[in-house]
Amino acid sequence: MNAPEPDARLVAMLPQVIEAAIEAGRAIQACRGDRSTSEKLDGSVLTAADRAADTLLRERLLALRPVGWLSEETADSPERLTARELWIVDPLDGTKEFVQGLPEYTVAIALVREGTPVLAVVHNPATGETWSAVQGHGAFGADGRRLAVVAGRGLLASRTEIRLGEFEPFVADWSVAPLGSIQYKLARIADGSAALTFSRGPKHEWDVCAGALLVTEAGGVISDLFGAPLVYNQSFPKHPGVLAGHPDAVASARTLLSTLGGSERMRELDTPRG
């Protein structure tokens, strides 16, 4: 199937979205002296940096394109479900790494059209790295280099999931490297730093949306843990895991993952939602 033609309006808008991500990154870095945290209802950590980045991005992005909005740090609204387009944003993916002083956190922005990401930016404020993509236009680093996935046995993994033993079945045949922020992992897959990443637990749409477009525009593949396509702007915005990388690496890993299945954390998706 031929790739869709890039939307010239999105290509023209991309530099402004990149600048918004960089500005949000500056706001995050300005909060490094305040790593105090609070706990959200789901038990995850919230910092002043999360709030500052969310406020800035909501103002900048909705001014660029006043469409629907879904962000980790903004109260969800059912109005987004009727939007043909919406921003899906994680203002600070990798809050734990930010609090710990590890340079492995990102600002992640995606524009979704009818359930599919069509524009994406991932920016690491600590390292200055930036990756971007427009559907059908390719994925690029800040230096203008076109991104391409690579084959091999490099596997990027969450430290928490390594500690829980979820990557133990892979250590014999894969080179498992810990890295924070799932969006950072997806960006590094897109730029050829490793061949594969996955999570055997649920992932919110904002956890993976921007990075998903980077991976596919770099020639990779991405799905939920069980091989189903990732669709965005769902009423319950969570996917049953994620599997992404070079097509050969994904095919190789899928054999073992089909036997292992999801982690215990996947049980939360069985809970009735009302």
Tens digits of residue pLDDT in 15-60: 999 999 999 999 999 998 765 655 444 546 678 899 999 999 999 9
CATH architecture designation of domain 154-270: 3-Layer(aba) Sandwich (3.40)
Q: CA Rg, the chain, in Å?
A: 17
Q: How far apart are CA 189 and CA 139, in angstroms?
A: 12
**Confidence band, pLDDT 50/70/90 cuts, at residue 73:** confident
Q: How far apart are CA 134 and CA 185, in angstroms?
A: 19
For residues 172 and 229, the answer to whether their CB atoms sit within 8 Å is no
CATH 3.40.190.80 in the chain: give the residue spans.
154-270
Position 94 pLDDT exceeds 90:
yes
pLDDT digits (tens, 9 = 90+) for 172-223: 999 999 999 999 999 999 999 999 999 999 999 999 999 999 999 999 999 9
For residue 35, what pLDDT is reported? 58
Integer CA distances (angstroms), 210 to 36, 39, 112, 152, 222, in order: 27, 25, 9, 23, 12
CATH of span 8-138: 3.30.540.10
Q: How far apart are CA 243 and CA 248, in angstroms?
A: 12
CATH 3.30.540.10 in the chain: give the residue spans.
8-138
The CA dihedral of 220, 223, 227, 231, to the nearest 10 degrees, is -140
Q: How far apart are CA 65 and CA 235, in angstroms?
A: 22
pLDDT digits (tens, 9 = 90+) for 228-263: 999 999 999 999 999 999 999 999 999 999 999 999
Predicted structure pTM score: 0.93
DSSP structure class, residue 253: H
For residue 243, how many other CB atoms are within 10 A of its CB? Answer: 22
Mean pLDDT of the chain: 93
pLDDT digits (tens, 9 = 90+) for 108-130: 999 999 999 999 999 999 999 99
Position 156 pLDDT exceeds 80:
yes
